[in-house]
């Protein structure tokens, strides 16, 4: 078996598993954040469920650790009350990012399983643990049952050749990978990392790379643990841990070799993490603000790099630099090492530990037309505010904050460039969903053909509406952040069918991106492929999603507005305009079971 198969098999009642099999796996750590946590609790309470094992169950309040938003504060307190009644441990607003705490507090260890409402829970691949972000129904089921169904993903093996250039950080490494694989070439795969340069990576560097598996569509990036990583995890978890390795005869769908000597300092251009350019090509572009932190670059090594650039320098006039350590322990370590003084002397704002701007709940947001250079992992339009966000490594962000424009640490001007002033232009309780259990397996409706790859969850249901918990209110916002389809909700009719292309539902774990279509009465979605979390959320909500192979639309001549029939059980699609039929991937057995049950819960 390969690494993912070994980890999953060890959490089932079977000796071995293989790609494509659907198995129930025991979840070692079951986590809900302040974002999504209230909905997890509501799912538990509304369905009359109880918590299976409180010692394996946790809350992590990392999205809005300042509690500065009233709706977040209400959700947090709601979760606190539930935790007190059920003996659940809370890593509260003073603790930091939950996935980092899982590693540093020994909640997860090599070979363990971990789920969270955080779509970057696969960051646990840094220590070769199985981590997955999931929607609130999945997490509620894990809390109640202790295990979850999961489809064993196929695996790809990446061999990295050569020595990394000295100016290439772990973030640059990741952005170069994005340049190679884009948003969906690794879609649905577990990816294993090998090579001398990989073995030399520190824990902090592995965390940076693992944290962006989601942005490449992967289920997880798995790093075989070396002795230093294993020793660290043994110390934190108090467990004896054997070095986890894939078998010599393990099966991989593909094995690729990548020459790291050709890697260059990279940026993600505003709007898409996979839209990349070298720093050299963007040199001199004006920035208004800079951000160092997030689950991708908030570790102590990241802060040390930033401090080495900022020491003895000042942030450029008119530029705002925000720095957020990933955990409170790292914050204290930075203080003990004098890094906080360097940041403050340079003119940076340092906030308490947490997710910061990435989660729209803490410092790091930007305003209209504001250009931000960020160490985060996502820069979808509107994700970190209403401005424009570049992604870069901590050294480049710090250097650019001093210069006032995009640059590198070895090219910082003595006098920063000055710019003209930029143009500035109640928590609601949810209602339990009533789902009919006799839904038909054959549906007919008018088709919307939306052939755009990588339609992410911010395009489907923007994060500004995430406080909405009543499904009846969600439909009006469907696709209102997808260019060309802002009026979709007004034009949509009950029983409409959406056909789209690759990686539909990429990005966040938000359940609303599924529920908004249920609210409108859309009967099903058919795509070439789906974001992994979105696929689960739709199946668990009993919302029909199916997949097809490229060429189908031309084969049966489907056009926007045609009336079509979809047989979900048999995997047949019919264009009722010409009676031509084609094959699509039919419902899986587990999908039919959940669909007939009216949902996972």
CA distance 79 to 71: 12
Predicted pLDDT at 43 = 95
Mean of the per-residue pLDDT values for the chain? Answer: 92
**Residue 380: band (very low, low, confident or very high) from pLDDT cuts 50, 70, 90:** confident
Using a pLDDT cut of 90, give the percent of the chain over it. Answer: 82
CA distance 483 to 506: 16
- Taking Cα atoms as reference points, which of 36, 59, 27, 210 lies closest to residue 121? 210
**Residue 362: band (very low, low, confident or very high) from pLDDT cuts 50, 70, 90:** low
CA distance 595 to 541: 8
Torsion of CA 397, 402, 405, 409, to 10 degrees: -60
Count of residues in the chain = 601
Torsions phi, psi of 452, nearest 5? -125, 130
Query: Do the Cβ atoms of 318 and 397 come closer than 8 Å?
Result: no
Query: Do the Cβ atoms of 568 and 441 come closer than 8 Å?
Result: yes
Written out in words, the top-level CATH class of the domain with range 442-596 is alpha beta
Predicted pLDDT at 377 = 83
Query: In three state form, how does the secondary structure of 369-402 look?
Result: CCEEEECCCCCECCCCECCEEEECCHHHHHHHHH
How confident is the model over 292-304, as pLDDT tens digits? 999 899 999 999 9
- Taking Cα atoms as reference points, which of 98, 38, 92 lies closest to residue 66? 92
How confident is the model over 141-170, as pLDDT tens digits? 999 999 999 999 999 999 999 999 999 999
CA distance 176 to 179: 5
- Taking Cα atoms as reference points, which of 427, 378, 374 lies closest to residue 398? 374
Average the pLDDT over each of 61-75, 249-263, 284-298, 335-349 and give the range with the smallest value. Answer: 61-75
Average the pLDDT over each of 52-56, 216-220, 428-432 and give the range with the smallest value. Answer: 428-432
Residue boundaries of the structural domains of the chain: 3-262, 266-411, 442-596
With residue 539 as reference, give the H or E element that holds it. Answer: helix 532-540
CA distance 384 to 59: 24
Cα–Cα–Cα angle for 551, 557, 563, rounded to 5 degrees: 120
Distances (CA, A) of 496 to 61, 68, 248, 544: 38, 40, 50, 12
270 HSE (CA, 13 A, CB side)? 17
Terminal CA-CA length for the chain: 32
pLDDT at residue 272 tops 90: no
Pick the CATH number of 3-262 from 1.20.58.710, 3.30.565.10, 3.40.50.970, 3.30.499.10: 3.30.499.10
How confident is the model over 487-500, as pLDDT tens digits? 999 999 999 999 99
Query: Do the Cβ atoms of 252 and 4 come closer than 8 Å?
Result: no
With tokens 């340069």, the residue in question is: 197
**Residue 453: band (very low, low, confident or very high) from pLDDT cuts 50, 70, 90:** very high
Secondary structure (3-state) at 327 = strand
With residue 241 as reference, give the H or E element that holds it. Answer: none
Distance of CA 424 to the CA centre of its chain: 30
CA distance 508 to 457: 6
Per-residue pLDDT averaged across 326-332, rounded? Answer: 96
Torsions phi, psi of 465, nearest 5? -105, 10
With tokens 């500035």, the residue in question is: 424
CA distance 354 to 332: 14
Q: Where are the alpha helices (DSSP H) in 202-283?
A: 203-210, 227-237, 279-282
What contacts 199, CB < 8 A, 6 or more positions away?
226
Structure tokens at 488: 């979709």
Structure tokens at 197: 């340069």
Written out in words, the top-level CATH class of the domain with range 266-411 is alpha beta
CA distance 532 to 221: 14
Identical topology for domains 3-262 and 442-596: no
Sign of CA pseudo-dihedral 588, 589, 592, 597: negative
Highest mean pLDDT among 254-263, 369-378, 434-443: 254-263
Query: Do the Cβ atoms of 500 and 452 come closer than 8 Å?
Result: yes
């Amino acid at each position: 078996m390969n690494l993912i198969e070994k980890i999953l098999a060890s959490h089932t009642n079977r000796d071995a598993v293989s790609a494509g099999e659907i198995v129930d796996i025991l979840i070692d750590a079951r986590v809900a954040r302040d974002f999504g946590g209230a909905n997890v609790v509501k799912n538990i309470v509304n369905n009359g469920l109880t918590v299976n094992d409180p010692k394996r169950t946790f809350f992590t309040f990392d999205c809005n650790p300042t509690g500065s938003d009233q709706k977040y504060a209400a959700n947090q307190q709601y979760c606190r009350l539930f935790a007190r009644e059920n003996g659940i441990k809370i890593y509260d607003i003073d603790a930091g990012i939950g996935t980092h705490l899982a590693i540093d507090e020994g909640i997860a260890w090599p070979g363990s399983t971990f789920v969270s409402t955080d779509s970057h829970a696969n960051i646990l691949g840094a220590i070769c643990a199985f981590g997955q972000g999931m929607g609130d129904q999945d997490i509620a089921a894990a809390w109640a049952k202790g295990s979850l169904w999961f489809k064993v993903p196929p695996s790809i093996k990446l061999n990295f050749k050569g020595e990394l250039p000295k100016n290439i950080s772990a973030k640059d490494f990741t952005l170069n990978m994005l340049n190679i694989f884009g948003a969906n070439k690794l879609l649905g795969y577990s990816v294993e990392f090998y090579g001398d340069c990989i073995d030399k990576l520190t824990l902090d560097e592995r965390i940076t790379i693992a944290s962006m598996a989601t942005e490449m569509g992967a289920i997880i990036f798995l790093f075989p643990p070396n002795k230093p990583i294993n020793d660290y995890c043994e110390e934190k978890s108090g467990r004896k841990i054997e070095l986890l390795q894939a078998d010599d005869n393990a099966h991989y769908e593909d094995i690729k070799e990548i020459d790291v000597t050709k890697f260059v300092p990279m940026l993600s251009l505003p709007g898409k993490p996979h839209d990349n350019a070298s720093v050299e090509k963007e040199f001199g572009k004006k920035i208004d603000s800079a951000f160092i932190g997030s689950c991708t670059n908030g570790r102590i090594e990241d802060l040390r790099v930033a401090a080495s650039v900022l020491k003895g320098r000042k942030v450029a006039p008119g530029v705002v630099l925000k720095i957020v350590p990933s955990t409170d322990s790292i914050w204290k370590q930075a203080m003990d090492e004098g890094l906080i003084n360097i940041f403050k002397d340079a003119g940076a704002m340092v906030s308490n530990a947490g997710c910061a701007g990435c989660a729209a709940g803490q410092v790091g947001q930007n305003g209209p037309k504001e250009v931000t250079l960020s160490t985060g992992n996502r820069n979808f339009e509107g994700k970190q505010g209403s401005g424009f966000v570049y992604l870069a490594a901590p050294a480049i962000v710090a250097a650019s904050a001093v210069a006032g424009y995009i640059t590198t640490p070895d090219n910082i001007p003595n006098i920063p460039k000055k710019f003209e002033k930029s143009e500035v232009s109640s928590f609601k309780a949810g209602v339990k969903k009533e789902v009919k259990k006799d839904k038909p397996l054959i549906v007919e409706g008018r088709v919307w053909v939306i052939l755009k790859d990588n339609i992410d969850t911010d395009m489907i249901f923007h994060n500004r509406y995430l406080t909405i918990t009543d499904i009846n209110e969600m439909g009006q916002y469907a696709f209102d952040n997808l260019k060309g389809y802002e009026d979709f909700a007004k034009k949509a009719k009950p029983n409409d069918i959406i056909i789209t292309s690759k990686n539909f539902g990429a990005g966040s774990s938000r359940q609303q991106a599924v529920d908004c279509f249920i609210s409108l009465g859309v009967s099903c979605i058919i795509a070439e492929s789906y974001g992994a979390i979105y696929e689960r959320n739709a199946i668990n909500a009993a919302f029909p999603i199916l997949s097809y192979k490229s060429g189908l639309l031309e084969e049966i001549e489907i056009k926007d507005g045609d009336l079509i029939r979809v047989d979900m059980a048999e995997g047949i699609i019919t264009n009722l305009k010409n009676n031509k039929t084609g094959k699509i991937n039919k419902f899986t057995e587990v999908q039919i079971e959940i669909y007939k049950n009216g949902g996972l819960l």
